C-alpha cells in the first residue's frame, strides 16, 4: 500500500505543478518523507498517514491525515489527495516556496581522471591606460523563483468518494406563525443527498411536522422537498462545512381554523364530539387541508468526525398558504449522517 500511496502522491503533486525527482543527486528544494500506518481487510482499508518536508535535515512542516476508513481500491488515491492538499495549503510550506534558496543536491561519486597538460596560453595583451578601461560589470547570481502551485484536485465527499450521503434521522423543535398567532411543536425528517461536484449537492428530505395549540394540533404537514444546496468546502478532510440551499416543499398540509385566525364552525353534530384533536374526523369543518408546493430555505453546518460520519445542524424556513392565509414554518434540526 505504501507504493500505491507514493505513486498516487507523486501524480497529485505533478498535476499541481510541483516538480518531483526520485534521485537525490538531482537539484531539489526539499526532501519529502512518507509514513503510513494502514491495514486492509477485504474491501476496506483503515489507517493514518503523515508527510514531512525537510531541507538539509531541518524540518519545514509535517502534514498528517487522521485515522479513517476507505474503500480498498480508492484508499491510495484518497490518502494521497489529502496529503497533497495539506502540503500545498500549509502556510509554512507556502512561505518556504516564496523564499528563493539555492537548490541542493547530494554530491555525485567522484571519478578519477588522468590529468591533462594545460594548453599553451597566448601572451597577455597590452592593457590600455587605466583611465580608458570601463569598470567591470557587476553580475548578480541568478536566483531561483518560487513557482505558484495549484491546489490538489478536490473530489466528492464520502469514505469511497462517491458523494452519497444518508441522514437516518433529523429531529428538532418547530415553530409555526399565522394570523391566529404562533405555535411550537416538533419536526422529524430523513434525507438523501447526492454530490453534484465538489461543492454542490442535490438534497431530498422527507419531513413530518406538528405544532400544537392547547389540546389540539394547530398545524401539520407530511412533505418531500427536493432542492439544491452549496457547501463552502475546500479540503477533503475539512471538519466544519457550512452550507445553504433551497427546495420546493411538496406535500399535504393541514391547519386548524383557529390557528389561521378564522372563525370556528360550530354545527350541532360537532358539539357531540369529545375528541377535538387534529385529524380526529375526516369531516371536521375546523380543519383546512390542502396539497401544496411551498418554497423552503436551508442553512446549516456539518461537523465531520471522519470521511464517513458527520453531524448536521440545520435551520429551515418555509412559506405556505392555506385557505388564503400565510403560514411561516421555522425548524431547527439536528441529524446524523453517513457518507459513502
Domain end call among 78, 98, 118 = 98
Residues 15 and 93 in one domain: yes
Whether 113 maps to a domain, the answer reads no
Residues 192 and 269 in one domain: yes
Domain end call among 98, 130, 153 = 98
Residues 259 and 174 in one domain: yes
Residues 211 and 86 in one domain: no
Strands (E) across the chain are located at: 31-41, 44-55, 58-71, 164-178, 181-195, 200-213, 216-224, 227-231, 240-256, 287-304, 309-322, 325-339
CA distances (Å), origin 239, targets 25, 92, 235, 282, 284: 40, 21, 9, 49, 50
In the predicted structure, residue 144 carries a pLDDT above the cut 80: no
Residues 100-136 have pLDDT tens digits of 677 777 665 554 444 444 455 555 555 555 444 445 4
Cell of 279: 385529524
Whether 261 maps to a domain, the answer reads yes
In the predicted structure, residue 282 carries a pLDDT above the cut 60: no
- Domain of 17, CATH number, reads 3.30.160
Q: Map residue 137 onto helix, strand or coil.
A: coil
Whether 157 maps to a domain, the answer reads no
- The residue among 111, 277, 295, 300 whose CA lies nearest residue 193 is 300
Residues 60-100 have pLDDT tens digits of 888 888 888 878 777 888 888 888 888 888 888 788 777 76
Residues 86 and 208 in one domain: no
Sheet holding 44-55, edge to edge: 31-41, 44-55, 58-71
Whether 18 maps to a domain, the answer reads yes
CA distance 284 to 92: 70
Q: How sure is the predictor about 2, in pLDDT bands with cuts at 50, 70 and 90?
A: confident
- Domain of 324, CATH number, reads 2.40.160.20
Helices (H), the chain: 2-15, 75-89, 91-98, 268-271
Residues 321 and 238 in one domain: yes
CA distances (Å), origin 123, targets 120, 129, 195: 9, 18, 79
Domain end call among 75, 98, 121 = 98
Percentage of the chain lying above the pLDDT 70 cut: 80
Query: How many structural domains are present in the chain?
Result: 2
Residues 317 and 217 in one domain: yes
Residues 281 and 173 in one domain: yes
Residues 220 and 79 in one domain: no
117-131, 139-153, 198-212, 312-326, range with the lowest pLDDT: 139-153
Residues 305 and 183 in one domain: yes
Residues 73 and 219 in one domain: no
Structural domain boundaries, residue 287: 164-339
CA distance 160 to 306: 12
Whether 218 maps to a domain, the answer reads yes
Residues 200-253 have pLDDT tens digits of 999 999 999 999 988 789 999 999 999 999 999 988 889 999 999 999 999 999
Residues 187 and 318 in one domain: yes
For 289-311, what is the mean pLDDT?
A: 94
Whether 105 maps to a domain, the answer reads no
Whether 232 maps to a domain, the answer reads yes
Whether 247 maps to a domain, the answer reads yes
Amino acid at each position: 500500500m505504501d507504493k500505491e500511496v507514493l505513486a498516487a502522491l507523486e501524480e497529485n503533486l505533478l498535476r499541481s505543478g510541483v516538480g518531483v525527482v526520485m534521485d537525490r543527486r538531482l537539484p531539489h528544494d526539499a526532501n519529502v518523507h512518507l509514513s503510513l500506518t494502514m491495514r486492509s481487510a477485504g474491501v476496506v482499508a483503515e489507517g493514518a498517514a503523515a508527510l514531512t518536508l525537510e531541507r538539509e535535515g531541518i524540518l519545514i512542516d509535517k502534514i498528517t491525515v487522521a485515522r479513517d476508513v476507505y474503500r480498498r481500491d480508492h484508499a491510495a488515491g484518497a490518502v494521497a489527495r489529502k496529503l497533497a492538499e495539506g502540503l500545498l495549503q500549509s502556510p509554512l510550506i507556502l512561505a518556504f516556496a516564496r523564499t528563493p534558496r539555492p537548490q541542493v543536491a547530494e554530491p555525485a561519486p567522484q571519478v578519477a581522471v588522468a590529468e591533462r597538460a594545460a594548453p599553451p596560453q597566448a601572451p597577455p595583451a597590452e592593457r590600455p591606460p587605466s583611465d580608458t578601461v570601463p569598470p567591470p560589470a557587476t553580475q548578480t547570481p541568478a536566483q531561483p523563483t518560487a513557482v505558484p502551485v495549484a491546489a490538489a484536485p478536490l473530489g466528492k465527499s464520502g469514505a469511497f468518494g462517491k458523494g452519497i450521503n444518508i441522514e437516518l434521522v433529523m429531529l428538532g423543535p418547530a415553530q409555526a406563525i399565522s394570523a391566529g398567532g404562533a405555535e411550537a411543536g416538533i419536526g422529524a425528517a430523513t434525507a438523501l443527498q447526492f454530490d453534484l461536484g465538489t461543492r454542490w449537492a442535490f438534497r431530498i428530505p422527507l419531513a413530518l411536522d406538528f405544532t400544537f395549540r392547547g389540546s389540539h394540533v394547530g398545524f401539520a404537514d407530511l412533505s418531500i422537498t427536493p432542492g439544491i444546496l452549496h457547501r463552502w468546502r475546500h479540503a477533503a478532510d475539512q471538519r466544519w462545512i457550512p452550507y445553504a440551499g433551497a427546495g420546493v416543499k411538496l406535500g399535504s398540509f393541514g391547519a386548524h381554523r383557529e390557528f389561521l385566525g378564522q372563525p370556528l364552525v360550530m354545527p350541532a353534530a360537532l358539539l357531540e364530539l369529545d375528541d377535538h384533536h387534529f385529524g380526529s374526523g375526516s369531516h371536521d369543518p375546523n380543519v383546512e387541508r390542502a396539497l401544496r408546493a411551498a418554497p423552503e430555505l436551508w442553512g446549516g453546518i456539518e461537523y465531520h468526525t471522519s470521511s464517513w460520519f458527520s453531524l448536521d445542524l440545520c435551520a429551515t424556513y418555509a412559506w405556505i398558504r392555506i385557505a388564503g392565509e400565510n403560514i411561516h414554518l421555522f425548524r431547527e434540526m439536528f441529524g446524523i449522517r453517513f457518507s459513502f
